[in-house]
Structure 1
């Protein structure tokens, strides 16, 4: 039975349209809805609405659901209804008390924010682990390589400089993720439909039970698209970093470069060309980066032009959030596996270090003799065929040497799971 049912049977086509796939998505929210409902039951007890025996019965039933799961049917619409119906079936009138002082508006935000808190911690841990993997990869493969601008050879670079750029990008992404954790971790419970209740429910108490820090403004709880797009934004940043890495590796694994390679078991083949070794996993990471961006944009657009307070449009933001975390965490995991197995072709990298890469260095040598840079620039430009490879490049440029990011990475290990 639907929580809002007033005795009129809903048109089946309308039911299909309004329910959508929420009843499927909400399977992931079952343990979080139980946690939120347990906290709410204890808050009702504190307010004198439930007695100790009633609270214990409800908590035990909710723990049972959390541990064993529950079927969510389309006619239930969502996890909240399925669980309340179960409590009513199991406990009669006592089950009808669980929704006192609460709306599905704040209930779903409790579920989403508890889910997101766990997802952020998981994503954070995967990204930190990837940074450690990249740092080890850089330490173990000290080698020069060409640097490119405008897709053309430009100046001497190193694998250490390139890998360091990836690590620093991820460290920035982690800062964004940590900020989103703080934004997410405010208590929505007790805001009800967006305007609180007259039952004197202690939001500080329920927030403490759920591990939230502070209470979110009752109306602001309903600004779901803004919160969700804010939570997806750091994931877009992670994916943008991985997009860059995937694009670099796709180019450098081409036969014309042959700088890197992955084991055959990481690659696919062609149904028509027997010789093909395709780095599909990198192409898919690149494509999924764009997909996560579209998820953020879709949520952002859903929230446009809506007045304050709850709007049913918000239902359409849940799936995008779940998908964004699923995609990002899987890509971080795959990227870690890539760098644990990426083979560096030092010989190909060394051969790619050609004389024209040192044109600017040659100009600087002339500058050191007191010649204006623009004149030195022209001298070198007129004698490019006389350029030679410089073997002391590592000594000349500190930025090309290995930089150990261990300390910076350790600073990002600050997120801990909230224990029930």
Structure 2
């Protein structure tokens, strides 16, 4: 049979790629012996043995056709061409005619590999539900490509895993991914990517972060897995944060992980505090709001963990300004959520820490911001300001006097007269009472 190649491809390859399954059927149906028409005319005169021989010859030619490869670099069989073209109907048609799902192209890539490289998550999931799924070995192929040292393979697999761990597909894929230890392997790939300075793969790093973020959202219990790898915290701290996407993903994941005290300890040991201080010092007033909020949420969780960590935060000298000063500077943006995050951090920094309470009380700019926030149109900002003032003066006589001298009591009383929300009124009253300290005269005067 003469194969008429067009640019290295037969008509069956073109039809398979374009999902012309009826054309593929017609091509295969027309495959018969050179004198097929004569044989058809004399069908009744042939013996059973001749009929069987003719049928075997016909099947052999069909098999030859469905296994023939393109005469080019890619060496695609029709079923591989159909995979490239996302041609599901044609794939099933070819399989019904004996095409092998274990076919490999010129670079030894399988159907599963091609679907991954083509970023075709729907086709990959279709294969996973097919009767021949075991022959394709989809999930092992995916994980092997993800951990591959070949950049194109690892990047493509990473993008597929981003989609599979997203809400749309996670219920379908989770059991497979869990059994293949996706969390551990993602952390492993992230560490390798960060350490690979010579050929840094930003896309792969982004994929690793998105996968971890997706997994943290559905299963917070992966935090212990993170703690089992000493290199993980170091990789997070040292990873490049050269784009807003990388910075945002970094801060979101670290904020999640810092709900676990062991994660906090790992991060602190890897100088996360200094790293955040440097990030906050880079064009402070133009840091994206969400990232700045997350940085202070992280620092607040660290400060709450240990008094020693409060001291580390306040004494961190990675930049000229302290982290507290950076936070106070950001209050000048008068952003609702950012103000709440910074004030929450300040409360955690002052928690049961007389020295930090006094540092905050002596900072006239901070006190001015806090008193100004009492007049905010947002009730949550007012409440946050009141709670912060209370934290600064609780059990600290010096800071109580400092705040009284700056007119704190008068401002709180004005707000108390205006406030209608019960919780806000209670917070104001508690703060006013904290301002009186243990002196009977001040208590009587305040009452």
TM-score (norm 1): 0.22
- Structure 1 or 2: more strand by fraction: 1
Could you tell me the TM-score, scaled by structure 2's length? 0.21
Greater helix fraction, Structure 1 or Structure 2: 2
Larger RCO of the pair (alpha carbons < 8 Å, separation 6+): 1
